[in-house]
Amino acid sequence: MGRPKELTQAQRSDLLAKGYRPVEVWLPDIWSDEIWSQVEEDCRLISASEERADVDLWTEEALRETLRLIEEMEDKAE
């Protein structure tokens, strides 16, 4: 497709006067094998994180309970 036609100096000045400014935007090449590999890896990680959610919740709760028991034993020792 290439670049769009360049503006004349008059067109550029008119746009600048109206409050526009030139911006160059770079986007990922969605046809790139490298991009698709990264997308697939990201999707795999998201899927794995959802599968781990229950395990993470159980682990966090077990840690909270363990810390509570330790604190309770320390209080009794004082």
Q: Which tens digit of pLDDT belongs to each residue from 9-66?
A: 899 899 999 999 988 888 888 889 999 899 999 988 888 887 777 788 888 898 899 9
Spatial distance between the Cα atoms of 21 and 7, rounded to a whole number of angstroms: 13
Tell me what pLDDT residue 20 has. 94
- Chain Cα centroid distance, residue 61: 27
Question: Coil, strand or helix: which one is 23?
Answer: coil
Confidence check: pLDDT of 2 > 70: no
Confidence of residue 3 (pLDDT cuts 50, 70, 90): low
pTM over 0.85: no
Domain ranges of the chain: 29-77
Tokens of 20: 């526009």
Spatial distance between the Cα atoms of 7 and 15, rounded to a whole number of angstroms: 10
Confidence check: pLDDT of 1 > 60: no
